[in-house]
Structure formats: structure tokens, C-alpha cells
Structure 1
Amino acid sequence: MNHWMEVVLRSVLILLGLFFITKLLGKKQLSKLSFFEYIVGITIGDIAGTISMDVDLQASHGVVAILVWASFLIFVSNVSLKSISFRKAVEGTTTILIKEGKILEGNVKKEKYTVDELMEQLRKKDIFYVEDVAFAMLETNGELSVLLKKEKQNVTREDLLIKGEATRLPQTIIMDGNIMKEAVHELGYSVAWVKEQLKKKGAAADKVFLGQADSAGHLYLDYYED
């Protein structure tokens, strides 16, 4: 077989294989990939490109390498879905960079962020004054999420009907059926309060996929079986 024909054949087969692996991994956007998923994706792509172009390498060895990397990624993804602590260890946690208009320099340095980069991300969200920000959090995928102070937010129907409250960061207090004690205490509540709220709604913590609450006592629940 001519070399160029072998390159074409290898490329087509590898492309089909990568498409199948991508389908197994789900529909997560590239910008939403975790640091670990990003590294594995680059490695698999590099292996695939090498196998396609270098006809002196045995294609079977490259396929085995791709399958090993992909299998490991699928294994990590499945374990992450079931274990919160494992997910935090692999993907990390969000980091607050700005709180109540104050830049948290220690967190900014820890994430290897510069002030210029932080301001650039704020400007992309049409925010030009740090003092307007209630919370700015660096997500695990590197994206910056920003919550403006109450007086800087757009007016809603609710604002016109009731007196505004001081802005507090909502917390995820139930995740994968587990009550997040640290988040509950952050809001000034207790685990007993959470259980009482669940009782009023006729729900059990282990039936809740995601639960969020704020300082006003509003509780949102998303169940495994909706």
C-alpha cells in the first residue's frame, strides 16, 4: 500500500474512533472542560496526529494508547459524578477573587492571576469599577463569574414590589444528596434548619440532586426524579 493511501486510511479510522470517544464523554463544551480533561484531550490528539502521519509506527500501538487514555478519563469522570471529595481533588474548587468590592490579593496570587488579567475579564462583562462587584469567582474551568452589588444590578419587578436586601452570595447547600455543612454555616444557618426546611417541603436530602439557599431563607431544590 502506498504511504499516502495508508495515511488517508489511518486518518479516517482515527477520526471515527475519536468521534466515538467524544460521544462517550458527553456534550461538554470545550470551554467547560476541567483542567484534567483538557490535558487528556491534548494528549489523545497528539497521539492521534502522530499515528496518522508516521507510517513507520504500528497503528495498533497508537490505538491501544488512545484507548488507555480515554478509558482513564471515562473512569475519572464516572468517579467524579459519585464522589464530591474526589471531584474537588481532580477538578479543584471555585476561588473568590473579589468580595464586596475588595480584591482578595492572596487568592489572586494563588491562582497566578494578574490585576491586568482580572480587569480584562471584568471589562469583557461590561464592568469597569471593582467597587461595583459583590462577588467575582474563578470557576474550575478558568471562567470568571461575577455578581454585581444590589444597587448596580438591573431593576426587576421584584425590586419594585419589595424592599431590597443586602447582597449575599447564594450557596449550594445540598449536592448529590449530601448536605454541605460548610456552605450552610456560611449562610448563618444550621443543619437542623436545612432538615426542617426539607421536612416542610416533604423532601429528604438523599433525594435532592442540588439544593441552593440564600441569606433571605429562599430554598431551591432540584430532585433526582423531577
Structure 2
Amino acid sequence: MLVLIIRTTILYLVIVVALRLMGKRQISELQPSELVTTLLISNIVSLPIENTDIPLLAGILPILLIICFEVFLSFFSLKSRGFRKLVTGSPVVVIREGKIVQQELKTLRMTVEDLMEELRLKDIFKLEDVYYAIVETNGQMSVLPRYCVTPVNNKDMQLQGSDDSPDIVLVSDGKMLYHNMQEIGVSSDFILEKAGASNCRVEDIFLLTCDDHRNIKLVKKEQVK
């Protein structure tokens, strides 16, 4: 049993490192080669775990080899447009100037129901509201709505203002996040001051966020009854 635990732990760490080298993507955002890599790794790693007679190295080496293939594919894709097109494909326009490109739907083996579902996921419920729709190489759909249904923004209304920075988490579950504090230039004294102003300790803070203008939002931990 101890051997199985050790083997599983080692393989788990190898997979974490391997996937970290591939970069951060959700399953729905994987390119075909990345999806194949993920599936192969999941199958290979199960063999040494299920059968302890298989040497651990026999599971680790194929994983490292597959990751090397993926890294090389990514490298050559960056260097060669033709190779990138061969490996990942090209975006496909399925709605052009408001008209469905039926031939492209057939090429993608995509039904009208699939198309309408993707549009609804983009909060578009009427086909006539779409000017362009493009299926990207990762399978996601990008939609350009017609001008008449495009939401009005501040630029359209000629409103003056400035860009706001996102809120940065400075305290999470009672712990200061020093890297984030350094990023926006605040010290521990700033956190302690805000905690004191809210009559609580840092340990009592569930969440504290701050932006570049020093606007904060503090949420205290709920009392356990």
C-alpha cells in the first residue's frame, strides 16, 4: 500500500509539472494537439498506478516525451504560419454580413441548432442581430453583433472619465497577501489601519480588496454559531 501511495504521489507531481509547462488553459480552450496530449497523459499515468509490476520510470518517460512533443509543436507553430495552420487549423466564418455560410457549417459538421445554441451563450437570441460569427480554432465562437443592437458605451455618449483599475485582494481569509500589497504599493500598516477602523483584527477579515485610488472593500468573517 505504501508503494502505491508513493508511486501515485510521484506521478501526480510529474503531471502537475508537465501540465504547468503546457500553460494555463481550460479544457474548452485546448487546441487539438493539447487535447491529445492531455488524453494520452491521463491514459499513460493510470497504468503504473493500477499495476505496480510496471516500473515507475515506464510511466514517467512517456509523459515527459509527450510534453517535449507538445513544446516542440508550440515552438514550430510560433515560427511557421503554415505549420500552425496545419496543426491548429484556421478560424471559420459561419455568419458573414448577416448571412449563414451553409457550406462552412457542413464542413464543421455543425447543425443550425448548434449555431443557435452558441449564439444564445453569447446572449444573442435573434439571428438577425448577428453581423459576423466566427468559430475559432479552439472551438469557441466569436460574435460581432450588428451596429443597431450594439450596447451604447461611454465613448458613444461622449462621457468624460478615467479608466479604473481592478480590485486587488490584499487579505484573504485572515491572511495578508504580500505580493499583491507590493503590487499596488501598500504596507502592513495600511491593512492594520483599515482593520482597526472596522473594529476588527486582520485575522477576522474574510476579504479585503483595494484599487489604485485606495478604495477598499472589507468583508468580515461570519461568526460561527
**Quick check: TM above 0.5?**
yes
Residue of structure 1 in register with 2:22 after alignment: 25
Are the aligned partners of 1:14 and 1:48 in contact in 2 as well (CA < 8 Å)? yes
Which secondary structure state, in structure 2, belongs to the residue aligned with residue 58 of structure 1? Answer: coil
| Residue of 126, 132, 136 corresponding to 2:133 | 136
Render the CA deviation track for 1:101-154: whole Å, top value 9, x for unaligned. 211110011011111111111111111111110111001111011010111101
Alignment partner of 1:111 is 2:108: yes
Question: Residue 184 of structure 1 aligns with which residue?
Answer: none
Match of 2:48 among 40, 46, 51: 51
- How far apart are residue 6 of structure 1 and its match? 2.0
SS in 1 for 2:94: strand
**In structure 2, how many angstroms separate the alpha carbons of the residues matched to 1:19 and 1:155?**
44
Which residue does 1:221 correspond to in 2?
none
- Please point out which of 3, 7, 17 is paired with 2:4: 7
Residue 38 (str. 1) matches residue 32 (str. 2): no
| Correspondence for 1:94 among 91, 96, 106 | 91
Give me the TM-score of the superposition, normalised by structure 2.
0.66
Larger Rg: 2
* Contact 1:11/1:52, CA 8 A, preserved across alignment: yes
Distance in 1 (alpha carbons) for counterparts of 2:154 and 2:2? 65
Pair 1:83 & 2:80 matched:
yes
| Partner-residue secondary structure (3-state), 1:159 | coil
Q: Deviations over 1:171-212 (max 9, x none)?
A: xxxxxxxxxxxxxxxxxxxxxxxxxxxxxxxxxxxxxxxxxx
Task: Look up the SS of the partner of 2:124 in the other structure.
Answer: coil
Other-structure match for 2:169: none
Any unmatched runs of 5+ in structure 2? 159-225
Who is 1:63 aligned against?
60
Aligned with 2:82: secondary structure? Answer: helix
2:124 is aligned to 127
Amino acid at match of 1:139: E
Q: Partner of 1:135: helix, strand, or coil?
A: strand
- Distance (whole Å) between structure 1 residues aligned to residue 136 and residue 107 of structure 2: 14
Tell me the number of residue pairs that the alignment of Structure 1 and Structure 2 aligns: 158
Counterpart of 1:16 (choices 13, 17, 20) is: 13
What displacement does 1:100 show? Answer: 1.9
Identity over aligned pairs, percent: 36
Q: CA RMSD in A?
A: 1.4
Query: Quick one: which amino acid aligns to residue 7 of structure 1?
Result: L
CA–CA separation in structure 1 for the residues paired with 2:99 and 2:2: 61
Q: Which runs of 5+ in 1 are unaligned?
A: 162-226
TM-fit CA distance, 1:158: 3.7
CA contact (8 A) 1:100 1:131 kept: no
